[in-house]
Amino acid sequence: MQGLASLAPFVLIAVIFWLLLIRPQRRRQLAMLETQRAVAVGDEVVLGAGIVGRVAGEEDDFLELEVSPGVVMKVARGAVVRVLQPDEPTAEADEEPSTGTDVPVDLTKPADPADPTDPTDPSRGH
In a domain, 124, yes or no: no
Pairwise CA distance, residues 56 & 42, whole Å = 6
pLDDT of 92 above 60: no
pLDDT of 98 above 60: no
Burial of 61 (0-12, 13-18, 19+ CB in 10 A): exposed
The CA dihedral of 108, 114, 117, 121, to the nearest 10 degrees, is: 90
pLDDT digits (tens, 9 = 90+) for 35-50: 999 899 999 999 999 9
Task: Note the pLDDT of residue 60.
Answer: 86
In a domain, 6, yes or no: yes
Q: Which residue has the higher pLDDT, 6 or 39?
A: 39
Nearest residue to 92 via CA among 124, 56, 46: 46
Pairwise CA distance, residues 67 & 92, whole Å = 11
SS3 83: strand
Counting every residue written for the chain, the total comes to 126
Count the Cβ atoms, other than its own, within 10 Å of residue 82. Answer: 14
In a domain, 42, yes or no: yes
In a domain, 117, yes or no: no
Pairwise CA distance, residues 47 & 37, whole Å = 14
In a domain, 10, yes or no: yes
Which residue range is the domain that position 15 belongs to? 2-88
Task: Note the pLDDT of residue 55.
Answer: 95
The domain tally of the chain equals: 1
In a domain, 43, yes or no: yes
CATH number of the domain where residue 24 is located = 2.30.30
In a domain, 79, yes or no: yes
| Whether this model's pTM surpasses 0.75 | no
In a domain, 67, yes or no: yes
SS3 55: strand
- Is there a contact between 59 and 107 (Cβ–Cβ < 8 Å)? no
